[in-house]
Amino acid sequence: MRKVGLFAPLILFACATAPAEQPPIHGQVPGYTCNAAGTDQFIGQPATSESGAAIMRATHSARLRWAPPGMMMTMEFSPSRVTVRTGPDGKITAINCG
């Protein structure tokens, strides 16, 4: 009986579950992290679905948020999202992640 008491911690350790994966950062889509470097080529182009799709590919983003002038936006940061600001003429003025 005493031998069982010595091996009990080992038995319990063997039955322990693996640590759970860390939950993603709020708004993070696994496998996608926005990188806005090199997006200057889109500045001045019309804000269209085609340019939006090209920006998403170029920045490796999972989501795109259009930000026309005067639009209120939430302040939470999402590493998987690209935000495209547009001017009153409907042309792209700025691109940033979040």
Q: 50 or 74: which carries more pLDDT confidence?
A: 50
Residue 71 to residue 39: CA distance in whole angstroms: 22
Mean pLDDT of 25-49: 89
Superfamily of domain 26-97: Trypsin Inhibitor V, subunit A (3.30.10.10)
Between 29 and 95, where is the model more confident? 95
> If you average pLDDT over every residue of the chain, what do you get?
83
Q: Report the predicted TM-score, pTM, of the whole model to 2 decimal places.
A: 0.71
Give me the percent of the chain exceeding a pLDDT of 70. 72
Residue ranges of domains in the chain:
26-97
Beta carbons of 80 and 65 less than 8 angstroms apart? no
